[in-house]
Amino acid sequence: MEHIGSVLAYSLDTSGILDAWTRHYPPDVFPSIWDHMDKAAQSGVILVIDEVMRELEKKDDGVHKWAKARGHMIVPIDVGIQKHVVDIMAKYSRLVDSKKNRSGCDPWVIALARDRQLTVVTGEKASNSLVKPKIPDVCKDLGIPCIEIIDFFREQTWRL
């Protein structure tokens, strides 16, 4: 596991961020959560692969602007991450549904976690099938820790 000091680091999926920003903890209602998220971004506890930024850019709810303003948490794609994506897609080809333009960044989120030994934070629920896997299914199969945003908050011991 990659640690920042004695703290674990995390690879955030688009759905994990959107669960927090729009679905459960919007910044206008839960500003303290976003103060914590800002500090986590500044300290390197949360990381976001470039591909997640592309997905967030499609949303018009302020979350892309928030993430872009924290450029130090954005991880550019490199050769190591690309290699992991190739391996992941070779083994879990149905992780991305190109016909539905679905989950294009999922393998990248997992690859970042695998490359840097991070925990994945996602809003996806397991399908319990490697035939049509979701992020939690692939993470489980690869031995990569995978949690939801509320569990991330708990691991950080954040309190409102």
pLDDT tens for each residue of 103-159 = 689 999 999 999 999 999 999 999 999 999 999 999 999 999 999 999 999 999 998
Q: Are the C-beta atoms of 133 and 29 separated by less than 8 Å? A: no
15 pLDDT band, cuts 50/70/90, is very high
**Residue 102, in any domain of the structure:** yes
Range of the domain at 36: 3-155
- Choose between 6 and 66: higher pLDDT: 66
Alpha helices in the chain (DSSP H): 14-18, 31-42, 50-57, 63-68, 79-91, 106-116, 135-142, 149-155
Total domain count, the chain: 1
- Whichever domain contains 94, its CATH number is 3.40.50.1010
Give which of 115, 110, 118, 112 is closest to 139, Cα–Cα: 110
**Residue 136, in any domain of the structure:** yes
6 pLDDT band, cuts 50/70/90, is very low
**Residue 160, in any domain of the structure:** no
Mean pLDDT across the stretch 75-95? Answer: 96
Q: Are the C-beta atoms of 32 and 40 separated by less than 8 Å? A: no
**Residue 149, in any domain of the structure:** yes
Token pair recorded at residue 152: 């991330």
